[in-house]
Amino acid sequence: MTAWKHNHVTLPNLKMHNVREGDGAPLLLLHGWPEFWYTWRKNIPILAERFDVIAPDFRGFGESENPEAIPDVGDYAEDIVQFIDALDLPKVGLVGHDVGAFVMQDIARRIPDRINGLFFFNCPHPGIGTRWLGGGHYKELWYQAFHQLEWSAELVGQSRDTCRVYFRHFLNHWAHADGQFDCDLDAWVDNFMTPGNLQGGFNWYRAVADYRQKIIDDGVPSLSPIDVPTYVLWGENDTVLRPEWSDGMEKYFTNITIETAKDAGHFVHYERPSLANERILAFFSG
């Protein structure tokens, strides 16, 4: 597929970009960081053979607008709920990775009756608790504090070279093997060198900072479980969201299946697209 169908949907607080392909039951693909809609390029064509696939950019990411005010962590879920309403979709399936997986949990608690299922890649769930900083893992999280500095986006965006070095690090370090993103690295640099996109992506870490700090300080929160059918496909070599952290998810999801993806790191949908597509198709086809 060489020609993507780009659309913009006007919401109360921003204009949200999305790519939409295929027919059938609606399936939303929600990206993480450092990503945008194009991270799903290996998934959209296959999934669109059976589903109405919609891959939006979160606020501040990709081609979506970036409101000036620092968002609240709940704004990202509210945006998607408004997006679903604007498209007049009575029910949807949700597929998400990283940031998208986090936001999906909020969406599922807001509109559970409108969600057909939740499919997570490497999910930052509440049960991780204080393990974010345990066992020396704090060394993997430096970027989250860095992104909250007022000058971080300016520093990374000094040139295409500095931007390339920065994102090449994460795409290599978090993947199972170096070089898997080499063919798409220019697309990542183009995206994040677009004015506002570095800061827009970094703003996620400002928005979620207080929530994560509370979990680190106080431990695992008490939340009502989510009853929506749930599938988790977690890369066994993820260095930032460790695969052993999938334990405890059963406390927050009453109907959940968890699978480990071999030869995959943080970006299972990109690193092992055939496996990812197969599991998504099977899960949402019942």
Domain spans, the chain: 6-284
| pLDDT tens track for 151-182 | 999 999 999 999 999 999 999 999 999 999 99
Using DSSP's 3-state secondary structure scheme, residue 87 falls into coil
What's the fold here for domain 6-284? Rossmann fold (3.40.50)
Model pLDDT for residues 21-75, shown as the tens digit of each residue = 999 999 999 999 999 999 999 999 999 999 999 999 999 999 999 998 899 999 9
Using one digit for the tens of pLDDT, what is the confidence trace for 219-253? 777 889 999 999 999 999 999 999 999 998 999 99
Amino acid at 36: F
What are the residue numbers of the active site? 98, 205, 266
pLDDT of residue 2: 59
Among residues 171, 185, 181, 192, which one has the least CA distance to residue 240?
A: 171
